């Protein structure tokens, strides 16, 4: 099995590493912040991040340095940075591990980013269910204040920063950056119509950067080791490593940090140890629940932004969900739609009405009450949602439907023709039902 240098998971895999400020300090923590404050200008930092090719790890993969450079420099009044720790994408559990095990690495990244964009206030918006993560982060923030890495005049540089932890209340949509901003402002978590974008009209209508936890954590390493070093890792425009959360019937599910660009085959069969009970692989969700399904013939697609997109899906949040031969694809699509229907915020018509309608059809098919025109209805309704919604949620909710119909049409047809789910006889899945 190929092995790679770990960057983000390195500290926490040290024996006895607790994530405390002392431990983080011993591991060289906050040296990047010191370097930035003493020797670099905000513009230097932005250029370094731009050159490194670092791209957002939350889902969209937007170049981080470019995002920072959109923040107007001469803006009077406050600017903000919001760190998106609302990790809610089904099948994704990397940020949680980072938060719980190396919180200071995130804080250091945030501090550097704030220095670069000229923000003196940052919010970490953490998923409500991350009770221990919130506790750990709050303790880390308090430690950092005491040590002078946060607060007024950090390391006598004249730069000041306050970080506030804001806990979500359980809505998936609040991971969408503009809904996240609404939520911090105390409003209902609903996405804003864009433009304007957060870079100019973000939190409280001020210039704002929203970055994912993993993105933030890469920043100190790039500062310490240079943009060339970072850019050399990975493949093409997908630089650096990425933590993939592998779940499903594999032998070793878990988080794996690998350079961008290894194949799905390597990830599933080498790192995750292959299929449990040596069953046949049937489908892969390559990048979180919002990504279109892959089939086994796509195992050699490379795990980088461009390759996955070219193959018709997206790298998304890095959640790789594996399904074996016993999994009913109609059930899988229905399961995902139940999630999306439950989480649709209800703001815009296609998503609000469409998610319920699609789910009703899928539930009928799965229950053996499908009609011949249902497949056409699923496809045409999905196309009425795609690209028509306020945020990317609409595209996300139709991806599992369109891709399962594309790859597994016969399975849908079998449900309709046999008037039952062909997988119902399977004991294991009957339990799952």
Partner 1 sequence: MDGMIKLTFNGQEIEVKKGTLLIEAAKVAGAELPHFCYHPKLKYDANCRMCIVEIAKIPKLQTACSTVAAEGMVVRSDIPRVQEAQNGVMAFILGNHPLDCPECDQGGECQLQDFAHRHSPTVGNFGEEKRVFEKEYFGPLIEKEMNRCVSCLRCVRYCDEVIDSNALGSIDRGSITEIGGFSHHPLDCEFCGGCIQICPVGALTSRASMYDYRTWQVKKTNTICTYCGDGCQLSLETIDDNVIRVSSELGIGRNEGDLCARGFFGYDFVNHKERLIRPQVLQKGRRMEVTWEWALNKAAVELKAIKEKYGPEAIGGIISSHCTNEEIYLFQKLMREVIGTPHVDSGARYGYINAARALSSVFGTTRLARYEDIVNADLILSFAGDMAETNPICAIKIKEAVRKKGARLIAIDSYNSGRDTYKSHLPHIAHRHLEVKMGTEGWVILGLLKVLDQKTSCGPLPSFETIERESGIGEAALREVAGLYAGAQRGVLILGRAITRNQNGYQNVLNLADLAIAAGQVGKDGAGILALAEENNELGAVEMGGVSEYLPGLIPAKAGGKTLVEMIDAAERGEIKALYIIGENPVRSLPQKKVKEAFQNLHLLICQELFLTETAELSDIVFSAVSFAEKDGRYTNQEGEIQKVRKAIEPVGGSKPDWMIFSLLADKLGSPFHYKNTDEIWKEVVLNMPPSWPALSKGAIASSVTSYMKRERKIIIPSDDSPPLQGGVRGGHLFDFQVGQSLYHSGKLSTYASGLNTIISKEAVFIHPDDAEPLGLVEGEIVNISLPVGAIQAPVAFSKRISRGTLFFPEHFSLEIKKGLPLTIDPSTHVPYGDRGVVTLSKISVAVSTKNLTIS
Interface residues with partner 1 (CB under 8 A) are 171, 188, 193, 341-350, 352-357, 360-361, 364, 371, 377, 383-384, 387-390
The nearest distance, CB 404 to partner 1, in angstroms, is: 20
Q: How far is the CB of 336 from partner 1 (least distance, A)?
A: 15
- Closer Cβ to partner 1, 322 or 381, answer by number: 381
C-alpha pair distances (Å), 50 with each of 55, 70, 218, 353:
9, 12, 13, 41
CA angle 265, 324, 91 (to 5 degrees): 75
Q: How far is the CB of 360 from partner 1 (least distance, A)?
A: 4
CB atoms < 10 A from the CB of 238, how many? Answer: 22
Please provide the DSSP assignment of 292-329 as one string.
Answer: PPB-GGGTTSBSSHHHHHHTTS--TTSEEEEEETT--H
Read off φ and ψ for residue 144, nearest 5 degrees. -65, -35
Would you put residue 78 in left (φ > 0), alpha (ψ -120 to 50) or beta? beta
- Nearer of residues 18 and 360 to partner 1, judged by Cβ: 360
Q: Which two tokens stand for residue 237?
A: 């425009």
- Kindly state the smallest distance separating residue 291's Cβ from partner 1, in Å: 19
Report, in Å, the least distance between residue 390 CB and partner 1: 6
Q: How far is the CB of 133 from partner 1 (least distance, A)?
A: 24
Distances from the Cα of 185 to the Cα of 134, 202, 203, 422, angstroms: 19, 10, 7, 48
If the CB atoms of residues 232 and 356 are measured against partner 1, the closer one turns out to be 356
Q: Which is nearer to partner 1, 212 or 382 (CB)?
A: 382
* Rounded least distance, CB 182 to partner 1, Å: 12
Q: Which is nearer to partner 1, 22 or 193 (CB)?
A: 193
Distances (CA, A) of 63 to 49, 67, 249, 251, 431: 9, 6, 33, 34, 44
Dihedral of CA atoms 393, 398, 404, 410 in degrees, nearest 10, equals: 160
Query: Token pair for residue 299?
Result: 């195992």
Q: Which is nearer to partner 1, 162 or 338 (CB)?
A: 338
Q: Closer CB to partner 1, residue 59 or residue 318?
A: 59
């Amino acid at each position: 099995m190929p092995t790679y240098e770990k960057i983000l998971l390195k500290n926490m895999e040290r024996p006895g590493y607790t994530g405390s400020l002392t431990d983080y300090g011993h591991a060289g923590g906050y040296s990047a912040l010191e370097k930035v404050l003493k020797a670099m200008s905000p513009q230097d930092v932005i250029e370094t991040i731009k050159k490194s090719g670092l791209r957002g790890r939350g889902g969209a993969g937007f170049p981080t340095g470019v995002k920072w450079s959109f923040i107007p420099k001469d803006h009077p009044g406050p600017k903000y940075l919001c760190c998106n720790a609302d990790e809610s994408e089904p099948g994704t559990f990397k940020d949680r591990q980072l938060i719980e095990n190396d919180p200071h690495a995130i804080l250091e990244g945030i501090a550097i980013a704030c220095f670069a964009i000229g923000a003196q206030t940052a919010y970490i918006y953490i998923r409500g269910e991350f009770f221990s993560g919130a506790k750990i982060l709050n303790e880390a923030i308090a430690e950092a204040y005491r040590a002078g890495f946060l607060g007024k005049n950090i390391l006598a540089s004249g730069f000041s920063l306050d970080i506030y932890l804001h806990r979500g209340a359980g809505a998936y949509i609040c991971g969408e950056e503009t809904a996240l901003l609404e939520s911090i402002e105390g409003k209902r978590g609903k996405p804003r119509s864009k433009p304007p974008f957060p870079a100019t009209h973000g939190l409280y209508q001020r210039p704002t950067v929203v970055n994912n936890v993993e993105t933030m954590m890469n920043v100190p390493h790039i500062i310490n080791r240079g943009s060339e070093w970072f850019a050399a890792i990975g493949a093409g425009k997908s630089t650096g490593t990425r933590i993939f959360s592998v779940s499903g019937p594999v032998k070793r599910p878990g988080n794996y940090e690998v350079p961008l660009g290894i194949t799905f085959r390597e990830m599933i069969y080498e790192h995750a140890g292959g299929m449990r009970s040596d069953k046949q692989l049937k489908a892969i969700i390559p990048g979180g629940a919002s990504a279109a399904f892959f089939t086994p013939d796509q195992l050699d697609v490379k795990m980088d932004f461009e390759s996955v997109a070219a193959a018709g899906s997206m790298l998304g949040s890095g959640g790789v969900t594996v399904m074996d031969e016993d999994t009913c694809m109609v059930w899988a699509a229905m399961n995902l739609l139940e999630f999306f229907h439950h989480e649709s915020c209800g703001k815009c018509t296609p998503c609000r009405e469409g998610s319920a309608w699609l789910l009703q059809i899928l539930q009928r098919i799965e229950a053996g009450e499908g009609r011949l025109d249902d497949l056409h209805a699923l496809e045409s309704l999905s196309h009425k949602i795609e690209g028509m919604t306020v945020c990317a949620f609409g595209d996300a909710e139709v991806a599992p439907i369109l891709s399962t119909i594309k790859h597994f049409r016969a399975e849908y047809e079998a449900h309709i023709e046999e008037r039952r789910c062909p997988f119902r006889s399977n004991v294991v899945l009957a339990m799952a039902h």
